[in-house]
Structure 1
C-alpha cells in the first residue's frame, strides 16, 4: 500500500510517501480501505515529537479516516465488508495512523458513516466536532440553559462548539472578527462581540450579568484573568488550545475559589473509547442532518501530506480543512470534477 509515513520524528521534511506492507488486523480489529484522511494541528505535534506518544517506525501519520470495511476480525462483531466507516483516534498511543491506502482500526474505535453523508465533509469535521463534544460535555459539564462563552467561535473547533452547544440548549456568547459575526449567529450564537474591541470584557459582562457557566477559548491565548472575571458561581473554564503558544497565563486564584470556579484542561488524545463513542453518536447525528460542515475545504492527494504539514505550521491554511484522498476515493468524485466533494457511496475496490 502507499502511505505517508515517518522513519524518525522531526519537521515536515521527514514525511515520506511511498509503499509499505499492508497492515495485518488482529482478531478484534477491522481492516479499512481508506478513502480519505485529513491533517490536524495535533498531527504536527505527534510528528515533531512535541506530543510524546509511543510510535513504531516506519510510522504512518494521521488520526482521521473515512473508508470502507475490507476485512473483519472474528472478535469485531457489528461490521460487515463494504460498510462505509470512519475513525478519529489513530496515529498515537502505539496505533499506526490513517494516512495510507489501508489501515487497521480496533473495532471499538470505528463507527459507521451515516447514509447519504459526503465522506470528505465527514472526515473534515471529525476532529473539530469530537474536540468540541469532549470540551462541552466530558470536561465542561454542559447543561441545557447554561450560558456559554466561546472565544474564537468562527474557526473549525469554534464553529463546532457553537453548533453542539446550541443543539444542547445553551445560550451562547461568542467572540470573533466583525466579518464573522453573521456566520457565528447562523450557527446558533445569540451575541457575537468583536474580539478586537478594547472594551470586550465589559461588553461580555453586560451580555451575561449573572456570569457565564462555561468558558472556552479556541485561540490558545487563555486570558484567565478575563475568564475568571466573567465566570458565574461554580462556572467552569475548559482549556483546549495553546500547546506551544509560549504564554504563561496569570491565574487570579482568590477570585476563582471565591466563585467556586474550576479550570480543566484536556487533549483529545487522552480521550477514552467511551468518551469517543459518545462524541461519535452526536457527530453522526449532526452529519446526517447536515448541521456539521466545514466552512472551507481543500481536497488534495495523499502524497501532499508533507506540504500540508508545512502550510499548517506556517499558519497558511486560515481555517481551511484539507482532506487527503487516496486513489481508492477517485470514484467518489465521478462524474464531477476531481477537486469537488463526492457522494457517500463506496468506490470500487482499492486501486480501481
Structure 2
C-alpha cells in the first residue's frame, strides 16, 4: 500500500514542469529536468519497478529499459526496435528517470516527427492481453500525442492494418495508465492470433516550440481476458492475389491462339491459279495448218504438161495463167470473174500462138 501511495504522489509531480515554465519562462526542458531530479530524490527504485514484475510478460530489463545499445541519434533500449514514420528525431538514453536507471528520450530541436519503438513477446494463441505504459512525459504536452498498439499476429510494421491501436492522448499527463476516471489511460487490449504478439509505442510531434522532447519508460504486457476477439483484415488479401493469378493465366491464354497460323493453309487456294493453265488452250493457234490447202495450187501444174514443145512465149502465158489463178483464189469471189477473163484471154493468146507457129512452119 505504501508503494502505491508513493507512486501516486510522484505521479502528481508531472504538473511541476508546466508550473515552473509558466512562472519563470525558462525552457521547458530545464523545468522538466528539475522536476525529475526532485522525483528521483523521493522515489525509490524498488517501488518504481513494480509495473515490470509478473504478471507482466515483457522481461523486466526490457520493460524497465535498464540497458541500451547503439549511440545517438539511434541509442535504443535493449529488447526494443525503433521506427520513424516521418521526421528525423534523436533516440538516446537519458539518466534522468522517473523509475531509476535509464529512460528513453526522443527529441528534436525545432523539428517535427512521428516515431516510436516496438518489442515482440511470446504469448498463448487465443488468450487476451493488455499493453500499458507508465511513463510518457513530454516537455510540451500539447504538442505530443502518445499511443500504444498491439499486433496480435506478431507483425512488426506499425503501418499494418493488423495493428490494433489504443487512444491517442494529447496534453497534460505524464503517467499514462491511471485507473479509470483518475487520469490519462492509453492501455490497449487484444487477443493473440499466433504465439507472438508485438507491442508498439508511438509519439506524434506535428508542431514544435523549439527544443522539444519526450521521456518514455516502463511498457508492460499483462494477461487480460476482457480483451475482445480479433478479426484479422489481411485474410481477404489472399483472394485478391488469386484473381491476379487468374488474370495472368488469362493473359497467358492468348498464346494458345497460336494454332491460328494453320489457317494460312488457305494459301492452298492459290492452287486455283493453275486453272489459268487453261490459257494454253490458245494452242488452237496451230489452225494456220489450213495453209496446206494451198496445195490445190498444184492442180494447175497439169497445164504445162499439155504443151511439151511449147516455146518460151507459151511458157510465159502459162505462168501468167497460174499467177492469175492464184490471184483469183485470193480475190474470191469477185476475182473469179477476173480469173475467167484472164483464162479466156490466155486461151485466145495460146490459140493465136499455135496458129502463128503452124503458119510459120508451113512456109
TM-score normalised to structure 2 length: 0.21
- The structure with more helix, counted as a fraction of residues: 2
Structure with the bigger RCO (C-alpha within 8 Å, sep 6+) is 1
If you compute each CA radius of gyration, which structure gives the higher value, 1 or 2?
2
